[in-house]
Structure 1
Amino acid sequence: MKRSIFAPLMWLSLSIILVCAFVMGIVHTVLLDRYIISTKTNALLQSARRISELTLMLSRNYGPQLENFYVFNLDLIAQSSQSFIIITDKNGKIINYSTHTRKYITTDSLSLKGFESVMEGDETAKIGPYNSIFGEKTFTVAVPVQTGGKVYGAVFLNSPVPDVYKDRHTLFTMLAVSILISSLLAFILSFFMSKGITKPIRALGRAAHDIARGNYKRRVEISNIAELAELGAAFNTMAESVENHEKVRTAFIGNVSHDLRTPMTTISGFIEGILDGTVPKERQDEYLTIVLNETKRLSRLVSTFLDISKYEENKVELKKTSFDIIEMIRVVILSFQSRTEAKKVGVNFEFEGESAFVHADENEIYRVIMNLMDNAVKFVEPEGKIDISVVTDGAKTRISVGNTGEGIAESDSPYVWDRFYKADKSRTEAGNGTGLGLFIVKSIINQHGEEIILDNKPNYTKFTFTLPTVK
């Protein structure tokens, strides 16, 4: 069973959210620990410095009242900082402590291991040196009691680690709730974003099925996501192309049916007339000539269809020679004389000289000029004009065939080179033709490595192609 893209997108989004939340939690925890330790250290050091100053003051001006003031401040600082205070001399002998520290004092001295630098005048903070004294993990800061650069002792403030981190639990709970809410909101947003991505993709799938079922007018809405918008635009372009090709195919079947049925009907009718005696013997040759012409017409039509694959696959073998393109045009014009005279069309020539030699496949180029001339005669209005020009420009010779009359519609211009494509049938002579003429023309010119362009104006249409000049 095939899975929807929606589930992987959601799992991916959820994974990213969880990973980000986990990393953010770790980073915040580390930063929070550092902040709490730093804050607690600074607070205890400040208190220790204050006690150090009071200790020096008492040693200089000893008196009962000052001692009471000293003990009162000692207990007050111990309570506010939630710490156990011990004051020692330089050798570690305990000389004073806060009231609630008394129950932990079992000896008259304190080990100075790890705090040697304090007795040299430095301030130190450590976790764990006096755990055994207080029966729990303890954070200790030590500040020297000194004056004039001489150290007389040290002040130790010991704070139980659980008390140091008690605010962390509150902050961590708030952080966890914030991350949970943010993750939930991110999940909801991811859900709708995933829906927003999969919805246009599903719409593309439904549209493709509709087109496969024959609804060639089906289009999709363009998404506001750049990549999906590009995909939607490409799909609509493809759908439009499919619709146009289907129209061309339908029209082609109708045209071919008409082109095949008309001569077949003529041939069948005349043969039956000859066989059943309806056609007099003295007119049988005349009718047989018509039958022969219709047969040749059918042969040409079938040959044209057979040539399509060769031109599509560029399998036409070119036999290039040098020939006079102007002479070829004259021959072509003579073959259209009856049709141009019937429409009272004027044919204008623009030649730079009596001859212009080019290097190409003579038979294929003859077919190009015949098709372009047939196109011009077909679409020129009665009493209009057809212009034919041959201009040599260095290594290239430009051949143009243009005609007056209703131009090709702007919407038809991109498709005139497509096989079987026919513009508005009201512009043609009784809507005949297979829509292969310009396709064959462009295929032949492309095989020669040359180019052909359409110059389309409201009341004038001109085709120009190039061929190599023979000097």
Structure 2
Amino acid sequence: MAQPKSMYLRQVTVMLGLIILCMTLLGAGFFSLSYRYQLQEIQSTLDRNAGFISDYASVALTEGSSLTDKDFVNYIQSVVLLTDTTVLVCNTEGLVVCAAGTNWNQELLTSGEVSIPAWATNQLLSGRSYSGMTTFDGIFNTRCYVTSEVLSPLVRDQNTGELVSSNVPTGFLFVANDATSVMEFLQHTFQLFFITAIAVLLITLIICSFTVQKMVDPLKSMCSFAHRFARGEVDVRITDYKNRNDEIGELAAAFNAMADSLAQAEQKRSEFVANVSHELKTPMTTIAGFADGILDGTIPPEKERESLQVISSETRRLSRLVRRMLELSRLQSSERVAAQEQFDAAEILLRVLVSLETKITEKDLEVETHLPHGPVMVWGDPDAVTQVCYNLLDNAVKFASPKGLLTLKITTKAGKAYIAIGNQGETIPPEQLTHIFDRFHKADSSRSTHKDGVGLGLYIVKTLLNTYKEDIFVTSENGFTEFTFTLSEV
């Protein structure tokens, strides 16, 4: 079985990965921008220096001087000292006639004639300027950033009388700056950035480890509580994170609520099993007792018919109990599909009232109805609502006092129809009202007076109404008990 991945390691890895990715992108952008900025500064400086030398050379050539005159050479050397650059001057054939600076191969220049590579001079002869990174085939000791100018004398414009370039090349000027300084700057910057990035990563690792650990520890604790709960420790609850106003606190509260709900469900299941056992045991004990009494002669022949009637009554009660339990099981399973159609709630209620006419007459009850003049059209399952009305009205008749009052009422409000069924009888104590819809719940008085009840009728009523997301309420005061349930109007 594969080991589960640690949430701690996964979260720390993801956060460090994001930091490394951000630092990499930031570093790449920073170095690219710095490199371009340095090159632009060098190019601007070289172009400016080349322009000064070119202007001076143009004036000197106009006055008849040559590119090898002492004054011209001294001027170039002065520029080199001030700008820390290297300058090469060559004729139109590319032969170097003047060199100043420190970043050129002196052995090569003093050993004989040195020429600028033809590809550079040809580019200038074709009218295009040259700039770029090069060593000029070993003339420079290191790679240099080089810019160029064409040297030509000035002539007087016949129209304006101003001195302008003759555009007749006399020579070429190359001004170079060592690119090593740029690389050294970038190297030092990279070293500083690398050290800073390592420090940031270490700090991030510490903070992430602490933060993620603080987040994971409560989850581990809750996992431990969940395992203990699964092993049967249903009384275990999470108390360490109740006061946290975050998702961890909400999770702890949700776990405790779930544990309470499951504990209550387990308690109800145990009570259900106990109630079922009791309800089944009572009629079966009665049936077995009377049957054995008849068989062994304990019950005299003249009382056998009476005993058989008791056996028959208990058998029917046992049958009703099993039928109700099967019906309840079907309601709570997925077999039941909640049908939705329109029907008249008043018609359903009156039809159920007529079906119980015999029982009502036997107890000589007074029936009082408060129904709307027209139909009360609602949504739902007519069969389910019929069963709800029958169970409630049957209970009302069963627990009503002889010659008492039975009430049926329908009112409408805010899109809901309220169907109320009430009776005069014994007042249900408040402590009984909270459990009246529980399975197998029967008040003590009802157990003694109505032994044919199984305590599932009201629970089935509530289950049916919950299927359609409807409500049911009960009130009992001064000997009058009333059940009210809702249905959605059309």
TM-score of the superposition, structure 1-length normalised? 0.68
Q: What is the aligned partner in structure 2 of residue 350 from structure 1? A: 370
User: CA–CA distance in 1 between the matches of 2:48 and 2:351?
Assistant: 112
Pair 1:309-2:314 in alignment? no
C-alpha change, 1:297 and 1:91, in structure 2 (3 Å) is same
Partners of 1:99 and 1:282 in 2: CA distance: 144
Deviates most, 123-132 or 184-193: 184-193
Deviation per residue, 1:32-72 (Å, 9 max, x gap): 4333322322232233333334445665598x996686255
Partner-residue secondary structure (3-state), 1:134: coil
Show the 5 A alignment for 1:55-454. Answer: 55-56=57-58, 70=75, 73-77=78-82, 80-81=83-84, 83-98=85-100, 100=102, 101=104, 103-105=107-109, 106-107=112-113, 109-111=115-117, 113-116=119-122, 118=124, 123-128=129-134, 130-145=136-151, 148-151=164-167, 152-192=170-210, 194-195=212-213, 198-199=216-217, 201-216=219-234, 238-264=258-284, 289-311=309-331, 312-314=333-335, 326-332=350-356, 335=359, 348-351=368-371, 367-373=387-393, 387-389=407-409, 400-402=420-422, 420=439, 429=446, 436-441=456-461, 452-454=470-472
Q: Greater CA deviation, 373-382 or 155-164?
A: 373-382
Extract unaligned runs of 5+ from structure 2.
155-163
**How far, CA to CA, are the matches of 2:391 and 2:399 in structure 1?**
12
Quote the residue 2:5 is aligned against.
5
Query: Contact 2:131/2:146 (CA < 8 Å) preserved in 1?
Result: yes
- Which letter does structure 1 place at the counterpart of 2:201? S
Q: CA separation in 1, counterparts of 2:423 and 2:87?
A: 111
Residue number among 34, 37, 44 corresponding to 2:36 in the alignment: 34
Gaps of 5+ in 1: none
Q: Secondary structure at the match of 1:208?
A: helix
Instruction: Give 1:76 shift.
Output: 1.1
Structure 1 pair 137–364 and aligned structure 2 pair: CA distance change class (3 A): closer
The alignment of Structure 1 onto Structure 2 pairs a total of residues equal to 446
Give the 3-state SS of the residue equivalent to 1:127 in structure 2.
strand
Distance 2:128 2:423 in 1: 105
Cα displacement (A) at 1:372: 1.8
The 1-side partners of 2:351 and 2:237 are apart by 52
Deviation, 1:386, is: 5.6
Aligned CA RMSD, in angstroms, stands at: 5.6
User: How far apart are residue 169 of structure 1 and its match?
Assistant: 0.8
Q: Distance in 1 between matches of 2:178 and 2:268?
A: 90
**Which letter does structure 2 place at the counterpart of 1:88?**
C
Measure the CA separation in 2 of the matches of 1:437 and 1:453: 16
Provide the secondary structure at the position in 1 that maps to 2:116. Answer: coil
CA distance in 2, matches of 1:363, 1:241: 32
For 1:3, give the aligned amino acid: Q
